[in-house]
A = this chain, B = another copy of it.
Amino acid sequence: MKAEIIGIGTEILLGQIVNTNSAYLSKRLAELGIDVYYHTTVGDNPLRLYASIMRGLGRADIVITTGGLGPTLDDITLEIISKTLQRPLILKKEILRQVEDHFKRYHIKMPKSNIRQAYVPKGARWLKNDVGTAPGLIFKESNKMLVALPGPPRELIPMFERDLIPLLKKIQPAMSVILTRTIKTTGLAESQLHTKVKDFLKLSGSTTVGIYARPSQINLKITAKAKTAAAARKKISIVEKRMKKRLGKLIYGVDEQTLEGETAKLLKNRTIAIAESCTGGLLSSRLTDISGMSANLISSIVAYSNKTKMELLDISKDMLRKQGAVSRVVSKAMANNIRKLANTDIGIGITGIAGPGGGTSKKPVGLVYISISDKAKTFCREYHFTGERKIIKFRATQAALDMLRRNLA
């Protein structure tokens, strides 16, 4: 079964809002095994909306429109559906009652314009809106289905979950289910990882793998199509096992797992202290996004100035002068000293140049030294990151978390 999504609203075409409905609907449809081949966005324009709905009904079994069901004159979805399906608009009393009830709940007099929302094309099945006034509508026309949903996600989502999912499950003879699993990696550049997993990316048929790169993080997404969810899960698990064997520690988690979350888990009851310079507190902030971190993260010092490095972290003036604040020795001393100062099991020291200023030919923007210290040893790695200031900060925290994770594992 094929579906098509038509987003309606001039504000989307003006770039004033991002169309997140299409992503939400696509994801849910994919999970039901319904293919989506096109998203279209069109403005509040009668001719173009008419053409889009006609085209959609021509090439898909189900067309879902979002938006344009409001009370104002530029909301024309119902009018156009009335013309497309050649069904007259009629007053539906139950819908009018829902609209009136909505205003009563907020002790507001219903504006006359809202009566418009109760005039719907004949033969529609309507869906209750628990949040706003616009009803959802379902039309059946020979062997096609046209669904009109309100634009605001907080109205659309509950309606889709409550009414559409059960309906679609019924009419979609569970021929196929599409499931995905995201394998998350860090530590390699996209091209390097690409080389490593080339054969996976060439998979075709009912199981495929895609690669998605973000700064210092590359996801491999396994997608499997099968008759049942169990069969799809099995297909995924076969590929996942092979991938895990191949990539080993490059993988830090799957799906909704985060690098900070997985690293935090590995800490168990070990305590940690952090001395950050160029990352300015971002590493501490990412770790403290994880609930319960107060038992592990004893203290963190953002030693942005040399003064703080000397006074709070006990880095010698001599070392700072001879080697510079951005150096291997200073990074190691930061990790070692914060660990002793806070009396923790682990210390981390980060120093580098986030830019855009401050770089030299010997020490360019993006140069970052990260050290990890425990009772047994202190080791340091040198990195060269690219991107603008915020990206370099993020990449440095990503690398630090990865070093910590591998060290703990």
Q: Mark A70-97, 1 if CB is under 8 A from B, else 0.
A: 0111100000000000000000000000
Contact B40 A38 (CB under 8 A): yes
Q: A216 to chain B: closest CB distance in Å?
A: 12
Nearest residue in B to A158 (C-beta to C-beta)? B388
Contact B37 A48 (CB under 8 A): yes
Residue A253, interface by CB 8 Å:
no
Residue from B23, B24, B52, B74 within 8 A of A12 (CB atoms)? B23
Given the interface pairs A15-B25, A189-B106, the reply to whether A291 lies near B357 with Cβ below 8 Å is yes
Q: Mark A298-330, 1 if CB is under 8 A from B, else 0.
A: 111111110110001000000000000000000
Interface of A is mostly: mixed
Given the interface pairs A43-B37, A71-B194, A279-B285, the reply to whether A20 lies near B18 with Cβ below 8 Å is yes
Question: A202 to B75, alpha carbons, bound, how many Å?
Answer: 12
Residue A289, interface by CB 8 Å:
yes
Which residues of chain B are within 8 angstroms of A202 by Cβ–Cβ distance? Answer: 73
Contact B280 A284 (CB under 8 A): yes
Task: Report copies per complex.
Answer: 2
Which residues of chain B are within 8 angstroms of A248 by Cβ–Cβ distance? Answer: none
Residue A292, interface by CB 8 Å:
yes
Residue A294, interface by CB 8 Å:
yes
Residue A205, interface by CB 8 Å:
no
Question: A356 to B282, alpha carbons, bound, how many Å?
Answer: 21
Question: A393 to B289, alpha carbons, bound, how many Å?
Answer: 8
Given the interface pairs A40-B38, A280-B285, A281-B288, the reply to whether A201 lies near B15 with Cβ below 8 Å is no
Nearest residue in B to A178 (C-beta to C-beta)? B14
Which residues of chain B are within 8 angstroms of A18 by Cβ–Cβ distance? Answer: 18-20, 23
Residue from B25, B41, B194, B393 within 8 A of A22 (CB atoms)? B41
Residue A241, interface by CB 8 Å:
no
Q: How many residues of A contact B (CB 8 A)?
A: 105
Which residues of chain B are within 8 angstroms of A354 by Cβ–Cβ distance? Answer: 288
Given the interface pairs A15-B24, A72-B211, A304-B299, the reply to whether A189 lies near B45 with Cβ below 8 Å is no
Which residues of chain B are within 8 angstroms of A195 by Cβ–Cβ distance? Answer: 111
Q: Mark A205-235, 1 if CB is under 8 A from B, else 0.
A: 0000011110100000101000000000000
Q: Mark A1-45, 1 if CB is under 8 A from B, else 0.
A: 000000100111111111110111111111000001111111101
Contact B48 A38 (CB under 8 A): yes
Nearest residue in B to A192 (C-beta to C-beta)? B108
Which residues of chain B are within 8 angstroms of A30 by Cβ–Cβ distance? Answer: 14-15
Which residues of chain B are within 8 angstroms of A391 by Cβ–Cβ distance? Answer: 154
Residue A138, interface by CB 8 Å:
no
Which residues of chain B are within 8 angstroms of A294 by Cβ–Cβ distance? Answer: 304-305
Contact A39 B7 (CB under 8 A): yes
Q: A387 to chain B: closest CB distance in Å?
A: 8
Nearest residue in B to A7 (C-beta to C-beta)? B39
Q: Mark A353-393, 1 if CB is under 8 A from B, else 0.
A: 01111000000000000000000000000001011011101
Q: A168 to chain B: closest CB distance in Å?
A: 15
Contact B39 A39 (CB under 8 A): yes
What are 22 sample pairs from A and B whose C-beta atoms fall under 8 A apart? A10-B210, A11-B221, A12-B26, A13-B38, A14-B36, A15-B26, A15-B27, A16-B221, A18-B18, A19-B39, A38-B41, A72-B194, A106-B384, A111-B192, A280-B284, A280-B288, A280-B293, A281-B302, A291-B356, A291-B389, A297-B302, A298-B304
A interface residues with partner B (beta carbon < 8 Å): 7, 10-20, 22-30, 36-43, 45, 48, 52, 71-74, 103, 105-106, 108, 110-111, 113-114, 131, 133, 152, 154, 178, 180, 189, 191-192, 194-195, 198, 201-202, 210-213, 215, 221, 223, 274, 276, 279-285, 287-289, 291-294, 297-305, 307-308, 312, 342, 354-357, 384, 386-387, 389-391, 393
Closest 7 CB pairs of A and B: A280-B288, A15-B27, A281-B284, A281-B281, A15-B26, A300-B302, A299-B308
